[in-house]
Amino acid sequence: MSQDPRNTEHDPRDESAESAPAEHERLPPAEEDLAAAFVRETEVIEESIEDGKKVRRRGIYLLPNLFTTSALFAGFFSVVAGINGDFTAAAVAIFIAMVLDGLDGRVARMTNTQSAFGAEYDSLSDMVSFGVAPALVAFTWILQDIGKTGWVVAFLYVACAALRLARFNVQVGSVDKKWFVGLPSPSAAAFVAASVWTFHSFDADAVGFKVLMLLVVAAAGVLMVSNIRYYSFKEIDLKGPVPFVVLLAIVLGFVVISVEPSVMLLLLFGAYVASGPTQAIMRKMKQPPATG
């Protein structure tokens, strides 16, 4: 005779004993629990507006952030090389960081992987590669020989780079993309790095060169936070056809730079740094005089 389940008596202790192993089986091991908690607590969650709806996205895009990390590594390597007295390698590392910094944004736009995290990470990387690194390289090479004035000017450059990046971040989308307001930090860093590379190659350690480097670093810092406009080259269409002579000019440019890289890069970026004030003066001269 079979038993009716409704008449079966159960001991509450037996029920809890049976449920305890089942509950225990659902709990992961301690190691897995710690790993899951670490991933959960360190995960990046972004909120954005897409098609008028708020979207929450977990994680970060790998490809553009790899370029940003590479640029950050190059900037840090430049600092280490400068401390160790290898100023040529320090200057070259800044130029490598400049190239990588230009690639991460383009890769993000081409692959549609833009994110707020990537923008902030890129800005912090720029602060190291184009703010701290050039100032420390210039200081460890020659500005430290000037004493207090040397490190004050180096700090001025770092502070101006930070202010330039902060202003750029809050003005994105509200200024004409054809122009940069103030000297871009990568160009300022390239100008300082090319100066160190060139003058160090010629063993230029006279008092005149110390004063010249002081002026170069100070001018680059002040121009970054100025309101002088610099052409951004963002309107150049890289996908459209161009005349054959353009490609020929690019090839000749590489040949000329390869002859004496430090001098040619200094002339190139020196011309770009001077283009802003020159155009500002020309626009001022073209304005009609105010009538009283």
pLDDT greater than 50 at residue 4: no
Q: Greater confidence, 102 or 157?
A: 157
Domains assigned to the chain = 46-284 (1.20.120.1760)
What pLDDT sits at residue 290?
A: 60
Average pLDDT, the chain: 82
Which range of 4-8, 54-58, 177-181, 236-240 scores highest in mean pLDDT? It is 177-181
What pLDDT sits at residue 22?
A: 47
What pLDDT sits at residue 137?
A: 96
137, 197 contact by CB (below 8 A): no
Least confident of 29-33, 103-107, 181-185, 219-223: 29-33
How far from 143 is each of 140, 156, 204, 229, CA to CA, in Å? 7, 13, 13, 29
pLDDT category of residue 3 using cuts at 50, 70 and 90: very low
pLDDT greater than 90 at residue 111: no
How far from 74 is each of 80, 100, 161, 168, CA to CA, in Å? 10, 9, 18, 22
With 0-12 / 13-18 / 19 or more C-beta atoms within 10 angstroms meaning exposed / middle / buried, residue 192 is buried
pLDDT category of residue 20 using cuts at 50, 70 and 90: very low
245 contact partners, CB below 8 Å, separation of at least 6: none
pLDDT greater than 50 at residue 247: yes
pLDDT category of residue 105 using cuts at 50, 70 and 90: confident
- Per-residue pLDDT of 44-84, as tens digits, reads 666 665 566 666 666 677 888 999 999 999 999 999 999 99
| Run of H or E including 264 | helix 261-286
CA dihedral defined by 14, 19, 21, 26, rounded to 10 degrees?
A: 180
List phi, psi (to 5°) of 8: -75, 135
What pLDDT sits at residue 250?
A: 86
Instruction: Transcribe 25-54 into DSSP letters.
Output: HHSPPHHHHHHHHHHHHH--EEEEEETTEE
Q: What is the bridge-based pairing of β-strands 53-58 and 45-50?
A: antiparallel
pLDDT category of residue 267 using cuts at 50, 70 and 90: very high
SS3 (DSSP) at 173: coil
Q: For 140-167, b where at least 16 C-beta lie within 10 A, e where not — what string?
A: bbbbeebeeebeebbebbbebbbebbee
Both structure tokens of 37: 């908690």
Binning the chain into helix, strand and coil, the percentages to the nearest 5 are 70, 5, 25
Q: What is the bridge-based pairing of β-strands 53-58 and 229-231?
A: unpaired
Percent of the chain with pLDDT over 70: 74
How far from 253 is each of 10, 50, 259, 260, CA to CA, in Å? 90, 43, 10, 12
Task: Tell me the average pLDDT across 206-233.
Answer: 91
What pLDDT sits at residue 100?
A: 94
pLDDT greater than 70 at residue 256: yes
pLDDT greater than 50 at residue 41: yes
